[in-house]
A and B are shown apart, each in its own frame.
Chain A
Amino acid sequence: MPELIAKSALEGRELTVGTVTLAEVDVGPITSIAVFPGGAKAVAKGLKALGLAMPEPNSFTEKKGARIVWTGREQAFLLGADCPALESAAVTDQSDGWAVLSVSGAGAVDVLARWVPLDLRLGACPVGGAVRTQLNHMNVVILRTGDHAFEIMVFRSMARTAWHEVESAMHMLAARSATKI
């Protein structure tokens, strides 16, 4: 039985238009951690091994390449590291469920302002922010990874639609700035 070849949702696409770069990102394994009622302490202990803890709402923390992203009530996604055994939490592999797109560059906020019903300017969404919201009609998790950088997690089967929509906004924004009077 030959080895099965793996394929990412967008096969590593990358595109720059104007000041904005759009690219598929490999964030490594993704594991959902959903704490059972009363299980917070046990989970905290389990996560200490990675130097991490369950994050505050709308934020993510990073330690040595491993990120823990808030994704709901007593729920988080562990990115980029294998999840330690946590007996008082529901641990579920989500690695293949999501495609991750990075949107970076000076115009990144304006591009996302075309589709995301949230204020993504630094003041309202600082680096280390993680928000569950919409990109047009798709549910997404948006991580603020830099002053001019975001990573957007979207359902893998919808990756092409997400890419198309961000790309169309990039072209329109570039056309606007090219015709500034």
Chain B
Amino acid sequence: MRLTCPLCGERDRREFYYCGAEDYLHRPAEGAPLAEWDNYLHLRDNPAGVTKDLWYHEAGCSQWLMVTRNTVTHEISAVELVAERKA
């Protein structure tokens, strides 16, 4: 499996650490109700198809990446830096 890091280029999967779905980027505001935190930490669409998830280029540039990926075919259609992601 290979991912194309926007900075380092195309790399073998072994260089990356996966933490979960893109939901982790939408941290509830301070004082948000616990239900929002349950949603943020636990509940997932978990689609069998295209999803967005978060990978860390551990052996490379230490950037967190948002990857648009198909969970059935493993086809990867987009990779962008979390730090520079569109809002």
Contact = CB atoms under 8 A, between A and B. Distances in A.
Nearest to A119: B10
Contact of A58 (B9, B59, B62, B83): B9
A117 B10 CA distance: 11
B11 A118 contact: yes
Interface residues of A, number: 12
Given A73-B7, A117-B12, A117-B14, A132 B83 contact: no
Nearest to B63: A73
A60 to B, nearest CB: 14
Contacts, number: 36
A134 B8 contact: no
B58 A139 contact: yes
Interface residues of B, number: 15
Interface of chain A, main secondary structure:
strand
A57 B59 contact: no
A58 B8 contact: yes
A134 B62 contact: no
A58 B8 CA distance: 6
Interface in B61-82: 61-63, 81
Contact of A57 (B7, B62, B83): B7
Nearest to A138: B59
Interface string A126-158: 000001111000010000000000000000000
B36 interface: no
